[in-house]
Amino acid sequence: MAKISTRQQRIIDYIKGYRREHGYAPSVRDIQIACDISSTSVVDYNLRILQREGVIRRSPDISRGLELVDDDRGGAVEVVSVPIIGAIAAGAPLPVVTSDILQSEGLETVGLPPELTPRVASDLYALRVKGYSMIDALIDDGDVVVLRRTPDIRNGDMVAAWLRAEEEATLKRLYREGDHIRLQPANVQMQPIVVPATNVEVHGKVVAVIRRLE
Amino acid sequence: MAKISTRQQRIIDYIKGYRREHGYAPSVRDIQIACDISSTSVVDYNLRILQREGVIRRSPDISRGLELVDDDRGGAVEVVSVPIIGAIAAGAPLPVVTSDILQSEGLETVGLPPELTPRVASDLYALRVKGYSMIDALIDDGDVVVLRRTPDIRNGDMVAAWLRAEEEATLKRLYREGDHIRLQPANVQMQPIVVPATNVEVHGKVVAVIRRLE
DNA sequence: GTTTGTTCCAAACAAACGTTCTATCGCCCA
DNA sequence: TGGGCGATAGAACGTTTGTTTGGAACAAAC
């Protein structure tokens, strides 16, 4: 995998912007002019390289038959709809996540852009945060947290945890320390808490937080 | 508003499918063959009608310069790409937002799902937060804030403000109080600051905050 | 019955466009 | 010194493709 030159990066950026603005790809000559290239052959030369590197896809002899492989298709993309299966709040149990629930209808959903979407979206779900108890995780009342149901929790992952003894749900970074677990707030100004591992139920890993204002 | 004929509907469907499959629009002759039309002029004639009806947009003399105006792309939803024009950090000036910048190429972008997108997206831009100085707005290092450039700032709106005297950028809720402005942190545990109105440059209204983990 | 508007045809034209050919320049290396 | 190579040029070529022209069939309006 070779590197991508400044000029090639500029071409990519131009194509991306052009597609966003026009809804179709620029011609070779459009690229030539926009990127200050003296000849269409040089554009072709660089496009050939970008194609070899897998950055773009070209359809031979087709006008503007140019696609970005790692595409946002010029603005239109499949948005993954993730169901908001309930709320998370201190003192209220976390909703149990089952496949049934994930596939059930009628739930409010939140659309995730591709940047926020991991390869597999089927085990994603979302919770709406109630109250201000998650504020040490920099999460406000009304925010939506997107989680992935996974057994693969690593040290440092932000997780949704249920503390049995305290009867409290919380969003914190998790670190295993022997038979205890340290829960570290996202807010660097705040102190971590350490609890016995048996006191913690991990319900999912936080993938994203979305706050809508206005 | 005239009706859309069977033939025209077939053309629309074909364009939609072709775009989904190829990433670019079909040519007039592609349409001609696919829709069993004997002449390209007939295709042109019908495209002209579809354009008049506002169903499609055409760019004259541009190969495959064909867009579907109200395109949900067969189930996929339009994601608005918003450029991340820079960073926001205390002590660093906010990037000046101009139309040029908004339309310039080569910027990293963030895709916004429809729920986060207001009717008009053209004056949206995004900033990536550097450092922990925005933590009282519940915003972490690395978060992306989506802003709208608008003169219509109302009391209680969350804004990106530049404090001239302090040389500090900040994200807070804004309240006008006579010739002073009160900036209220989103974090309910923290105290507001009050500054002279002349000391504040408002650079935009915060529309959404997106935090990506994992 | 003529007019008028719509829809459709076939062919030709000209602009847009991808591709290719040849040549040049700088750079590394034997 | 010279050959190989990546990158760049300028121009020409031939296809793709949007557009136009002149006409015909048909139905509704007058």
At A187, which CATH number?
Answer: 2.10.109.10
- Tell whether B23 and B120 lie within a shared domain: no
- Tell whether B204 and B160 lie within a shared domain: yes
User: Hey, how many other C-beta atoms are within 10 angstroms of the C-beta on A153?
Assistant: 15
pLDDT in tens, B130-161: 777 677 778 888 788 878 777 667 788 888 88
Contact residues, B window 84-143, toward A, CB-based 8 Å cutoff = 103-107, 109-116, 118, 132, 135, 138-140
- Tell whether B137 and B189 lie within a shared domain: yes
Residue B144: the pLDDT is: 80
- Tell whether A64 and A86 lie within a shared domain: no
- The rounded mean pLDDT for chain B is 73
Total domains, chain B? 2
Closest residue to C11 measured CA to C1′: B39
Look up the CATH number of the domain holding residue A20. 1.10.10.10
Q: Which residues pair with A163 in a beta bridge?
A: A168, A200
Please tell me the distance from the alpha carbon of residue A132 to that of residue B36, in angstroms, as a whole number.
62
Residue A43: the pLDDT is: 92
The reply to whether B1 falls in a domain is: no
Q: Give the range among A119-133, B47-61, B91-105, B114-128 with minimum mean pLDDT.
A: B91-105
Is residue B157 within 8 A of residue B174, CB to CB? The reply is yes
What does the pLDDT average to over B102-109?
Answer: 46
- Tell whether A103 and A195 lie within a shared domain: yes
% of residues, chain B, pLDDT over 70: 69
The reply to whether A71 falls in a domain is: yes
The reply to whether A113 falls in a domain is: yes
pLDDT in tens, B157-183: 888 888 888 887 888 888 888 888 988
Under the banding of pLDDT at 50, 70 and 90, the label for residue A206 is confident
Statement: residue B99 has pLDDT above 50: no
Tracing tokens 């998370």 back to the chain, one arrives at A88
- Tell whether A96 and A194 lie within a shared domain: yes
- The rounded mean pLDDT for chain A is 74
What does the pLDDT average to over B88-114?
Answer: 52
A9 strand D contact, CB < 7 Å: no
List chain B residues with CB under 8 Å of A72.
Answer: 79, 81, 109, 111
Closest residue to D10 measured CA to C1′: A39
The reply to whether A27 falls in a domain is: yes
- Tell whether A84 and A59 lie within a shared domain: no
- Tell whether A40 and A64 lie within a shared domain: yes
Tracing tokens 């529309």 back to the chain, one arrives at B207
Tell which strand C nucleotides have any atom below 7 Å from a protein Cβ.
7-12, 15-22
List chain B residues with CB under 8 Å of A28.
Answer: none
What does the pLDDT average to over A89-99?
Answer: 56
List chain B residues with CB under 8 Å of A173.
Answer: none
- What's the count of helices (H) and strands (E) in chain A, helices before strands? 4, 12
B60 strand D contact, CB < 7 Å: yes
Q: Which of residues B4 and A156 earns the better pLDDT score? A: A156
Statement: residue B106 has pLDDT above 70: no
Which residues constitute the domain of residue A39? 6-75
Residue that is last in its domain, among A48, A75, A102? A75
Is A64's CB within 8 Å of B24's CB? Answer: yes
**Which of A64, A112, A187 has the CB atom closest to B135's CB atom?**
A187
Q: Render A29-97 in DSSP notation, one character per residue.
A: HHHHHHTT-S-HHHHHHHHHHHHHTTSEEE-TT-TT-EEESS--GGGEEPPEEEEEEEEEBTTBPPPPP
